[in-house]
Amino acid sequence: MFEAEVAVVGGGAAGLSLAHRLAGPVRGLRTPSVVLVDAPPGPLSPPRRTWCFWEPGRGRFDAALTASWRHLRVRPPRGGPIEGDLSPLLYKMIRSDDFASLVRRDLARSPNVRCVQATVETVEDVEGGARVRLRHTDGATGVLSARWVFDSRPLGSLPAARTTLLQHFHGWFVRTARPAFDPRTVDLMDFRTPQPADGLSFGYVLPTGPHEALVEYTEFSPRPLTDSGYHAAVRHYTHEVLRLGDTRVLATETGVIPMTDAPIQRQVGASVFRIGAAGGATRPATGYTFAGLQRQTRAVAAALRRGHRPVPPAAHSARSRAMDAVLLRALATGRVDGPALFCRLFDQVPMPRLLGFLDGRTRLREDLSIGLRTPVGPMLRSALELPGLPRRPFDWPRPPLETT
């Protein structure tokens, strides 16, 4: 039996981030004992993935970054691109293997964090704390008792929602024979892709050099594609739209992110909490998760070090979630043209302000100003009908979950 003040379940971005923030002493604050329970290699371990986010200047995990950019581009279906400088923000890309290596190196030197590789079978409240039942790789069972448990494992099913779309994507890490990319510029949304009957699609290009980039095809729609459908979509984008020429595929990634207005519980017991995507860290209208889970784990770590009750805060404000619910409804019903809406926003709103809006960091006055640049009639109709809509469960064939 292990004993710890804090048990962190799951070795993905949220679990590793919380353990990292609790590792080692901080002058004048408490140093809680921590056990990080990570799934053994296999179907329960997090798949390799790429996360992107934006922040001003240097950040906590910069040593693990693959690349960063200050210049961003959006391409309409027709016509010239919309480009802008992000200063003082940087758009950052980090791969999960590099992130995990950085964090685990620091955890290995921490006197108060212990890492355990095991499958979690149950998590249950007990008097004064919680109990985590484990099965180790050799088949032996164990019990971890902790005052607080933070569970970052993906949800088994989605809560009932009024609107749910899927952000699903397939990407190729490519190397081209000719210098095909501008390493200074991210193509955030390239709407020159064929648009699906329901929802919208776009290309996404993250260049790491003149010859190398992650090139993805992304859809916001009710259903994922087949493997052959994704392959055909990325192949069309790389060869027919980008015209990359002779290209070598070094690796691939595929993911599905639920975009939902469902309320997600962060507290599931007196001493048991959810964090990360399982705790509502994903921004419903964009699918971005990494920045939200950093805000969440930062607040939890601060509460634990100060001896306060460590309830994870909502990663996104109630106002942001309400605006997202309206946008999701407008997109799902087809009332708004998604490519036209996003292109108009990037064309009329300074990019640093728009990214601040997408991250929930703008004031009410700025939110209203940006909202007036959307199709007001369809958005207002969507807002007015939301209170009367029932929440329904959403069934979907669940592949490994990716977070951007």
pLDDT tens by residue, 129-186? 999 999 998 999 999 999 999 999 999 888 999 999 999 999 999 999 999 999 999 9
In whole numbers, what is the pLDDT of the chain averaged over residues?
A: 95
| Backbone dihedral angles phi then psi of residue 236, each to the nearest 5 degrees | -60, -40
Do 50 and 254 contact (CB within 8 A), yes or no? no
Among 310, 379, 320, 303, CA closest to 344: 379
Question: Looking at residue 45, what is its pLDDT?
Answer: 83
Report pLDDT for 48. 87
pLDDT of residue 140: 93
Q: What is the mean pLDDT of residues 38-51?
A: 88
Q: Which of 300, 370, 39, 307 is nearest to 292 (CA)?
A: 300
Number of other residues whose CB lies within 10 A of the CB of residue 137: 12
- Per-residue pLDDT at 2: 62
What is the separation of C-alpha 212 from the centre of its chain, rounded to a whole number of angstroms?
A: 23
pLDDT score, position 43 = 82
Q: Compute the average pLDDT of residues 51-67.
A: 96
Contact by Cβ (8 Å): 68, 91? yes
Kindly report which listed range (44-58, 77-91, 206-220) carries the lowest average pLDDT score: 44-58
Residue 122 has a CB neighbour count (10 Å cut-off) of 9
Residues 73-85 have a mean pLDDT of: 97
| Residue 397: per-residue pLDDT | 57
The CA distance from 98 to 263, in Å, is 32
Q: Are 5 and 34 in contact (CB under 8 A)?
A: yes
| Mean pLDDT of the region 33-39 | 97
* Model pLDDT, residue 126: 94
Q: Evaluate if residue 303 carries a pLDDT over 70.
A: yes
Residues 364-403 have pLDDT tens digits of 999 999 999 999 999 999 999 999 999 999 876 554 444 4
% pLDDT > 70, the chain: 97
Rounded distance between C-alpha atoms, residue 381 and residue 376, angstroms? 8
Q: Which residues contact 251 (CB under 8 A, 6 or more apart)?
A: 172, 173
Query: Left (φ > 0), alpha (ψ -120 to 50) or beta: where does 155 sit?
Result: beta
Structure tokens given for 300: 């939890």
> pLDDT category, 47, cuts 50, 70, 90?
confident
The 10s digit of each residue's pLDDT in 244-271 is 999 999 999 999 999 999 999 999 999 9
Residues 6+ apart with CB under 8 A from 306: 29, 30
Q: What is the chain's Cα-based Rg?
A: 21
Closest CA to 169 of 194, 202, 191: 202
